[in-house]
Structure 1
Amino acid sequence: MEKRIIGMAAFTVAGAAISAFTVLLSMLLFQQSTYIYVGIIAAALLIFGNVLISGAFQRLSTTMKIVLPLLLFVLPLAGYGGYEAYIDHIEIENAEVDLTAYEPFRKETKAVRLEQPSSFTLKENLPELDGATALYPVYSAFVRAVYPENEYPHDNTLDSEVAVSKTPGAYNRLAAQNVDMIFAAGPSEKQESKLRPEMEQTAIGKEAFVFFVHDSNPVQSLTVEELRGIYSGDITNWEEVGGKNQEIIAFQRPDGSGSQTGLQKMMDGKKIMDPPSDHRVSGMGGVIEKASSYRNHRNAIGFSYRYFSTQMKENNNIKLLKVNDVPPDVPSIKNDEYPLSSEFYAITNGTDNPNVPPFIDWILSEEGQTIIEKTGYVPLGEN
């Protein structure tokens, strides 16, 4: 009996030391939650080993010999995995912006307005509009200035002339000619292949494609080549670009989303690495939450557009990186100094609505450009 007690004590001390070292190593080398799984397995092994040394396992019934490993290993691991999945779900559900606040004629709407009534208005045959989440505040303000006052629920593509299907949905609706015009970044190659030869995209404003990290990350600036290296998988540790010795967690968006298309264009033909499924986030707000949340990854990097990340989904736990030492601010976008500045567009696909051409002309006029500027984007012709 004494030998078993001594054996159990020695096993516990040695096992605890090895487990502590393993947990610490996993905290340094892997994603933030990996050490918890390692800790669960280590604790289960300690308990199971002591049960074996004590001889208690041999006295268990056949059923209990099967049940005990399940209780020690499977249930804790499955339970924590389920908890993580639930928290991820809650985070993403809470991450996206409530676009209802930007609906054009809603009381106390966030959509901006002109100081004077618009010189161009529509009363009937209203163009059907759709677009990207980040551009909804802009085209909602266009509607507020030009369309008759009415309810235009952003989430009702059947009954509303002004909806938000996000970039992939908006391009799908445009390709099917279910809308007259969308507001988005330029199409991906796949999206463009589905549009008619009559497709036209008219640049209406300028914006910056931005990368962000947790505020505690010491890295302040990356070059375009370094960004390409990170998203191709050639650069995997922050130490390689002047940061801490930590793995880089590079989040992405689904193919066809406006920001993922922006990433593809930034890569300039260089192959983007395939991310793990939990590193591909459906919404831009979700990417910001992933990069900013303590629960997730302080060694993460994500991407979005400047206006969305600073105005629509403001988060003090992230910081926008400079690119080639140039900050993504309004002056650098105006002067084309920020290397990832780009235009955004009003895009049509062979619409026969006669009100669309004069509407686009008005958007390009001083009044339309004023709305773009008041919303927080950069108007054209500001060099």
Structure 2
Amino acid sequence: MKKKLVILITAASLLLSACNDGKVKVDPAESTKPSSAQTEVTPVKVEKPKFTKDTYPKLDGSTATIPLSEAAASDILGISKEDSQKFIKHNTTHNAYVNLINKKVDIIFVTEPSEEELKLAKDAKVELEVIPVVNEGFVFLVNTKNPINSLTIKQIQDIYQGKIKNWKEVGGTDSEIIPYQREANSGSQTGMEKTVMKGLKMVDAPKTIVTGMEGLIESIAKYDNSERALGYSYFYYAKTMYNKDTIKFIGVDGIVPDNSTISSGKYPFTTSYYAVLRKSEPKDSSSRKLLDWMLSEDGQKLAEKTGYVPLKVR
């Protein structure tokens, strides 16, 4: 039996359930905090759903999960990669959550919900299920000119609280740190706030907020003063979708993110990409059939083939 991690968002409270032999309730105050532990599944064989383009689930998602959605559609529908790229449309993380809450789509592939998105669901009296589909790493990036190869968790937190402002304070050159941020409710910004800062207030940074994942990477990759820059993203996107030869991943507490350290859970900022549905979605709906297949042995193999880190196998 597959093990699913499910977050149920209700108007009254947030309950985190781990579905296996029973259900385990977690303090609602802890339910929105991501865990660095790897999600595990027992791989099972699930029959590939039989969809046409007309019966395929209405879906949406983040930029970084576009290849995952395209690969699934290509495999299930038996269409080419080019056709799947035309068929699949993602509107970025926040817009995907809004579309799901407003019942314009039935399933989305995203990072975890922000506090504003949780409130939108609560206000709309929509109950959500948030289920990991692949593992992922939240990563930090610098320009290749920067001699720094690793920072501690506390150093990162101090930089983004404005307590550390010069690279020499963390073993680098005597130069100002330019700590880039993403816009509110972007998947990267929510990940930073929840996975890294964990309630610590980030410094107000109107001049260093960058719109779009590619915009942040470009700010670090360019040559003009970029050796002073620090930024963050998700491992898959920065490694596979928007790789630049002038940026490098830095370690956290000495552990550099890669498929191995993320898969094993050794990398400190390990997280997931999630499938999110409305809890009211029928058990035999096309969305649940798609999700069941993506969590199956074949679905996880496809995710790995596409470059994602599959859920840890028990």
- TM-score band, normalised by the shorter chain? 0.7 to 0.9
Deviation at 1:242, TM superposition (A): 0.6
Could you tell me which residue of structure 2 aligns to residue 375 of structure 1? Answer: 306
Given that 1:152 and 1:163 are in contact with CA atoms closer than 8 Å, whether structure 2 keeps it comes out as no
In the alignment, structure 1 residue 190 sits paired with structure 2 residue 116: yes
Could you tell me which residue of structure 1 aligns to residue 6 of structure 2? Answer: none
Could you tell me which residue of structure 2 aligns to residue 34 of structure 1? Answer: none
Segments of structure 2 that go 5 or more residues without pairing to the other structure are 1-46
- Equivalent-residue separation in structure 2 for 1:171 and 1:198 (angstroms): 12
Deviation at 1:120, TM superposition (A): 2.8
1:330 to 259, 284, 302: 259
- Equivalent-residue separation in structure 2 for 1:204 and 1:183 (angstroms): 8
- Equivalent-residue separation in structure 2 for 1:376 and 1:153 (angstroms): 17
Higher normalized contact order (CA 8 Å, seq sep 6+, divided by chain length): 2
Deviation at 1:198, TM superposition (A): 2.6
String of CA shifts for 1:82-126, please: whole Å, max 9, x gaps: xxxxxxxxxxxxxxxxxxxxxxxxxxxxxxxxxxxx733313432
Deviation at 1:152, TM superposition (A): 5.7
- Equivalent-residue separation in structure 2 for 1:328 and 1:149 (angstroms): 33
Equivalent position SS for 1:289: helix
In the alignment, structure 1 residue 137 sits paired with structure 2 residue 67: yes
Equivalent position SS for 1:303: strand
Given that 1:121 and 1:145 are in contact with CA atoms closer than 8 Å, whether structure 2 keeps it comes out as no
Given that 2:153 and 2:252 are in contact with CA atoms closer than 8 Å, whether structure 1 keeps it comes out as yes
Equivalent position SS for 2:200: coil
In the alignment, structure 1 residue 169 sits paired with structure 2 residue 95: yes
User: Superposition pairs for residues 149-168 of structure 1, below 5 Å?
Assistant: 149=79, 151=83, 162-168=88-94
Deviation at 1:149, TM superposition (A): 3.9
Given that 1:206 and 1:377 are in contact with CA atoms closer than 8 Å, whether structure 2 keeps it comes out as yes
Could you tell me which residue of structure 1 aligns to residue 57 of structure 2? Answer: 127
String of CA shifts for 1:25-84, please: whole Å, max 9, x gaps: xxxxxxxxxxxxxxxxxxxxxxxxxxxxxxxxxxxxxxxxxxxxxxxxxxxxxxxxxxxx
- Equivalent-residue separation in structure 1 for 2:50 and 2:153 (angstroms): 43
Deviation at 1:296, TM superposition (A): 4.5
- Equivalent-residue separation in structure 1 for 2:74 and 2:64 (angstroms): 17
Could you tell me which residue of structure 1 aligns to residue 142 of structure 2? Answer: 213
Could you tell me which residue of structure 1 aligns to residue 189 of structure 2? Answer: 260
Equivalent position SS for 1:345: strand
What TM-score, normalized by structure 1, do the two folds share? 0.65
CA gap 1:379/1:119 in 2 versus in 1, 3 angstroms: same
More strand by share: 2
Segments of structure 1 that go 5 or more residues without pairing to the other structure are 1-117, 155-159
What TM-score, normalized by structure 2, do the two folds share? 0.78
- Equivalent-residue separation in structure 1 for 2:288 and 2:94 (angstroms): 24
CA gap 1:365/1:153 in 2 versus in 1, 3 angstroms: closer
Equivalent position SS for 2:227: coil
Could you tell me which residue of structure 2 aligns to residue 358 of structure 1? Answer: 289
Equivalent position SS for 1:321: strand
String of CA shifts for 1:139-182, please: whole Å, max 9, x gaps: 1101111136495666xxxxx6x311011111111111110111
Could you tell me which residue of structure 1 aligns to residue 214 of structure 2? Answer: 285
Q: How many residues align?
A: 259
How much identity, in percent, do the aligned residues show? Answer: 37
Equivalent position SS for 1:244: coil
Deviation at 1:332, TM superposition (A): 0.7
Could you tell me which residue of structure 2 aligns to residue 52 of structure 1? Answer: none
Q: Larger Cα Rg: Structure 1 or Structure 2?
A: 1
Could you tell me which residue of structure 2 aligns to residue 250 of structure 1? Answer: 179
